[in-house]
Chains A and B, each alone.
Chain A
Amino acid sequence: MRANRVLLPLMLVMLGLAGCRPDAGDNPLAGYQAPDPLVLRTPEAPMPLPDVPLAGVDGELRSADLFHDRWTLLYVGYSFCPDICPTELGQLSRILPVLRQRLPNIPWQVVFLSVDPERDTPAHLEKYTAFFSEEFIPVTGSRKSIDAITAAVKAGYRIEPHEAGQTTYSVDHDTGFRLIDPDGRMLALLPGPHDPPAIVSALENFMSEVTK
């Protein structure tokens, strides 16, 4: 399915933070024109992520430390997901080694943020993501932390209302990959549907134009 072209202007408006004036002095995105906005698109200015506590496989960590000194592809989902998340994580498991090969000087990582901590413990997430790649970094956290991050990168999600203890509820979620820089700022959105070769090309173009 192709992304709905009618929605593109709307999404661009949503991404362009109205009222947020890019600081001309430090806006690596100023003047960058993505060759194909259906593959990779940029906000007007970097979107900073908050520094919040998260739950990782080795215990609590700070989100600022998680993103620090790395270039991250962030994917937001949940492990109960029977179809979309496994497909997308499979795509990321193919993209990561190719990125490392093509852009060897950039420290890439893939972070999977589960918005479903009720069912997704860090121990469970570790097993789940390792199935796709031993290198993926799974995290979750309190609802407050999850909401702070998803709001900052405009990744909507909705958990189906359910009784406490019910385990079969589904979660609607945004399937974009988000590019986070080593300062913990979102610089680009790679919306679905994802085509790994197109994504690698788009990221090569972006990194060569935006990071000097």
Chain B
Amino acid sequence: MNKTTTAVRGPINFLLLAATLLAGSVAHAAELEVIDPWVALSPPGAHATAAFMELRNAGEQPVDLVAASVDGFQVVELHRSIEENGMHRMVQQERITVPAGGSVELAPGGYHVMLIGAESELEEGEVLTLELTLGDGSRVSVEAPVKRREQAMGGHGHSHDNGGGHEH
């Protein structure tokens, strides 16, 4: 199984990634590495599920994730689960900031991309395309396999086993 990352690791990758950028000579998308994106398999008839990933920013400026979209869902929002006084709340986020040279984890119980109103039931192993929009308008497109939570969270939450996403 290969590791799914969207990274600028060389000229060929850069060309591939550049094709997904909207604008900007030093686009934030070129600095952002998306590691192990996955979507939680939801129970039958569930109205909502979530996508998770780790974002690493190799650049010298903070990068904001400001929106995400996935075909086949009515609404896609950035959210954070927070706990206050023993109560769990979900708070919609205008942006998720990845500090310069740092990383942010979108993981169960914290930041996540909330996917609402699937047009069809998700299936384990299916690969969804997540389009991430960054603060400067540039975009990154990543392939996120649908996994059962316990599989994805097995071990230390970093399974590099990505259920066979294919490059097309």
Contacts and interface: CB of A to CB of B under 8 A. Distances in A.
Q: Do A and B come from one complex?
A: yes
Contact-residue bracket for chain A: 35 or more
Contacts of B89: 170, 172
A71 to B, nearest CB: 23
Given A127-B44, A128-B45, A167-B47, A82 B115 contact: yes
Contact of B88 (A79, A80, A130, A175): A175
Contact-residue bracket for chain B: 20 to 34
A11 B135 CA distance: 40
A67 to B, nearest CB: 22
B83 A1 contact: yes
Interface string B34-56: 00000010111111111000000
A86 B109 CA distance: 10
B88 A173 contact: yes
B75 A1 contact: no
Interface string A172-203: 11111000000000000001110000000000
Interface in B3-49: 40, 42-49
A32 interface: no
Contact of B149 (A7, A81, A90, A158): A90
Interface of B: 40, 42-50, 75, 79, 81, 83, 85-90, 108-109, 112, 114-117, 149-150
